[in-house]
Amino acid sequence: MKRIGIFYNPKLFKSIQKLKERVEFLQKNGYIISLLESQKRKRLQGISYVEDFTKENIELLIVLGGDGTILLASKLVLKENIPLLGFNHGKLGFLSECEKHEFEPVFSEIQKGAYEIEERMVIECITVSNSGKKNFALNDCVLYKGKYPKMLTFKILDDNEYLFDIEADGIIVSTPTGSTGYNISAGGSIVFPNTNVLLLTPINPHNQFVKPFIFSAEKKLSIQYIKGNEKIYVAIDGENVETMKKYEQIAIEKSSYTSKFIKLPDKTFAKIVREKFID
């Protein structure tokens, strides 16, 4: 694993020095480095610049930033089967395997082959009656009302079988990876990343007895927007991608694609939960 791509959050790397230090460290250890043309920086020597990251030009993508940067990076290599390794330069950084100060010791372990590649579920979200566009989410798909005040009503179907209606400010459908994101803030459960489930969590439900639901990931969820504002928003991994009008429907199911992450032996999920949420 000698061909490495770097994707970074430009807001956190306004100064070239931090990025330059990481690039030079990798080069000294025999790694060939590629950056996207869109992230080209002066004063970086011996770098290959590419339009896209593909398995022909890199074997590993290093992500320097916070969780949002990792979510963006995951889309860049989703269909290329390229693993990610995140270094947290943000705040919570739950998706990052390592903290920024661990950069050099972590690569000592990688050179020894002391790692595994962990696969994370991705969901496909298709607005059936609107654009028909397919979006991929590593974390979650959120339907919400934005700045408008009305309570929203959704009809929930499981493999086209009607289950129930939910009145709420919105709905979160998350992957196990996304369970520690917006889902947990809305009262949903934390589940281990290798769990094969989909989580549906209402946002501020009107009925206090309506609780989060957990479905088998082999199911296909359909959510129809049936009452409320003229339009609502569809956010994929925290980014608004489109709107839905009344009686339009979105279908959500497990994708055949998975996101790959480098996993180090001392970075267990239980340990990360303790460090980020409890300790």
What is the CATH number for 54? Answer: 3.40.50.10330
Task: Looking at the structure, tell me whether residues 81 and 132 fall in a common domain.
Answer: no
Q: What is the pLDDT of residue 108?
A: 83
- Enter the tokens of residue 230: 């003229």
Cα–Cα distance measured from residue 180 to residue 159, given in angstroms and rounded to the nearest whole number: 26
DSSP string, 199-247: EEEEES-SSTT---EEEETTS-EEEEEEESSSEEEEEETTEEEEEEETT
Task: Looking at the structure, tell me whether residues 97 and 55 fall in a common domain.
Answer: yes
Active site residue 279: no
Check 67, 140, 169, 237 and give the catalytic one.
67
How does strand 239-245 pair with strand 152-158?
unpaired
- Split into its structural domains, the chain has a count of 2
Cα–Cα distance measured from residue 104 to residue 23, given in angstroms and rounded to the nearest whole number: 11
pTM of the model: 0.91
DSSP, res 100? G
- Enter the tokens of residue 271: 């340990």
Segments forming the whole domain that contains residue 274 = 3-115+264-278
The CA-based diameter of the chain, rounded to the nearest angstrom, is: 60
Q: What is the pLDDT of residue 35?
A: 96
Q: What pLDDT tens digit does each residue of the chain (279 aa) get? A: 799 999 999 999 888 899 999 999 999 999 999 999 999 988 888 999 999 999 999 999 999 999 999 999 999 999 999 999 999 987 777 788 888 899 999 888 888 888 999 999 999 999 876 667 799 999 999 999 988 778 999 999 999 899 999 999 999 999 999 999 999 999 999 999 999 999 999 999 998 888 999 999 999 999 999 999 889 999 999 999 889 999 999 999 999 999 999 998 888 888 878 877 776
Task: Looking at the structure, tell me whether residues 104 and 126 fall in a common domain.
Answer: no
Task: Looking at the structure, tell me whether residues 126 and 111 fall in a common domain.
Answer: no
DSSP, res 180? G
Cα–Cα distance measured from residue 236 to residue 25, given in angstroms and rounded to the nearest whole number: 35
Q: In 3D, which of 230, 143, 132 has the Cα closest to residue 186? A: 143
Q: SS3 for 124?
A: strand
Q: What is the pLDDT of residue 279?
A: 62
Cα–Cα distance measured from residue 274 to residue 279, given in angstroms and rounded to the nearest whole number: 6
